[in-house]
Amino acid sequence: MEKRGCGILLHVTSLPSPYGIGDLGRGAYSFADFLAEAGQSFWQILPLNQTCAVYGNSPYSSFSAFAGNTLLISPDLMAEQGILLKSDIENHPVFPEKRVDYRTVTKYKDEIFKIAFEKNKDSLEDDHEFKKFSVENSHWLDDYGLFISIKKHFNKVDWGRWPEELRDRKEGTIREWKERLWETILMEKFLQFIFFRQWHLLKGYCESKNIRIIGDLPIYVNYDSSDVWSNPEIFKLNKEKKPAFIAGVPPDYFSSTGQLWGHPVYDWGVLKETKYSWWIKRMEHNLKFFHMIRLDHFRGFVGYWEIQAGEKVATNGEWVKAPAKDFFDTLLKHFHDLPVIAEDLGVITPDVREIMDQFGFPGMRVLLFAFGEDLPANPYAPHNYVKNCVAYTGTHDNNTIKGWFKKEASPEDKKRVFEYIGRKVTEKEIHWELIKLVMSSVADMAIISMQDVLGLGEKARTNLPASIEGNWRWRLVPERLSPLITKKLLEMTRIYGRG
């Protein structure tokens, strides 16, 4: 990072829009305007991958590490670009303004996508832009289009239970199914084309406002994904193509029994033999999407927690080494630089720190973790920050500042907060005081969640780890972005040299 800066953490699904979920349309452009007016340099979002109800609509669980989330396609932009008529989107349902109702949103979007495809399918053969997109992305798009189409045909059953010839991708069978499902495949490619075009227009607008976008790249992919189906050799699978081992973490801050994620783990030996070609394509893809990338669960690139498939808890696992130095050396041979933020939360061993230092990757400091008994030596306390780090009030997995202060902070924690700030503060003003601590710190970058800027309570949190219901639903009501909030954020940005 070349200079001090700051930004806001807000996922696209949380943006205002008339269609029940944040999208890449007007609400996103208005938010970029707000960031610029408030002097912000960064907009951090969560993964943009396709989500689904089966995995609780989590952006960290997807059918593809490459495909975009079509729920984020803006109907307004489709109408403006002539893909739909205005009359096609005028009679939409009345959606809740403050929460995403994924079932209703998915049903509505599926309906208008079918209309859009019927209107445009005959012209796709002569559409130069669509053909160019299809060729440039064929390395993942062909497999993804076929994968999703087959899933729909088999009523969404996971690929490990498909007929054996299809599961094992026998050449003749694949050719036959491509012909059989060509229209569904074409529609999936068409929707990805629209998503990518809308995203890159928004990214260009952010660049015109001097705002850089920080994306989020989950280390693992779902077993039931086009990535594992079409690249089974790079994962630890058994003879039946089921995971032999799964990923997770041992007991930590978020769970006393650890977390059992269920994703298949990589076979790093095979990845190394292939010179990490799948990962190189994935990084290249993401570097076109974002200006910086937060690598989720960074320590998994150095050593990962491997659990035998079938275990009910994550406790019975073991650490396995990964070839981190060779991996990042190889990536740097392909890319001029790696604008990466290492998500290094939890118990981090010296070998992980060594890799971060060697490659200059900034880590994360989360202020809400700072106020325990070990406050003087706590790495999350601002007086212990280093320049090359990204300071957060909290992440998408944390409670809001106000929610933490009200529900999670013990009387002793609060006492330490007041001593640290230098005075007693009320629940009403605590969020600005903690934002000030992060903004005034030595950290090169400060990222504040939108909910904390607005001083919202626990109901506004994005995600509660290890829980399935009610996550990823919070939405920003546009009226909350008052001129007073913009002014206060701008002043703080200026005072602490982050403009």
* pLDDT recorded at residue 257: 84
pLDDT in tens, 462-472: 999 878 889 99
Q: What is the mean pLDDT of residues 476-488?
A: 95
Q: Which CATH number goes with the domain that contains 335?
A: 3.20.20.80
Dihedral sign computed on CA atoms, order 282, 285, 290, 291: positive
What pLDDT was estimated at residue 467?
Answer: 84
Q: What is the mean pLDDT of the chain?
A: 96
- Region 56-73: mean pLDDT is 97
- Number of domains, the chain: 1
Output the pLDDT for position 466: 76
1 pLDDT band, cuts 50/70/90, is low
307-332 average pLDDT score:
95
Mean pLDDT, to the nearest integer, of 15-40?
98
Residue in the block written with tokens 């998500």: 343
Distance between CA atoms of 376 and 371, rounded to whole angstroms? Answer: 9
CA–CA gap between residue 346 and residue 252 (Å, rounded): 7
**Predicted confidence (pLDDT) at residue 423 exceeds the cutoff of 90:** yes
Structure tokens at 120: 């445009």
Structural domain including 22 reads 5-495
Identify which of 344, 368, 366 has the alpha carbon closest to the alpha carbon of residue 294.
344
* Measured distance CA(218)–CA(397) in Å, rounded: 14
Whether the per-residue pLDDT at 255 is higher than 90: the answer is no
Q: Are 307 and 259 in contact (CB under 8 A)?
A: no
- List pLDDT tens digits, range 360-390: 999 999 999 999 999 999 999 999 999 999 9
How many Å apart are CA 51 and CA 49, to the nearest integer? 6
- Is residue 152 within 8 A of residue 120, CB to CB? The reply is no
- By annotation, the residues acting in catalysis are 296, 343, 397
254 pLDDT band, cuts 50/70/90, is low
Average pLDDT over residues 416-425: 98
**How large is the average pLDDT for residues 281-300?**
97
Per-residue pLDDT band for 493 (boundaries 50, 70, 90) equals very high
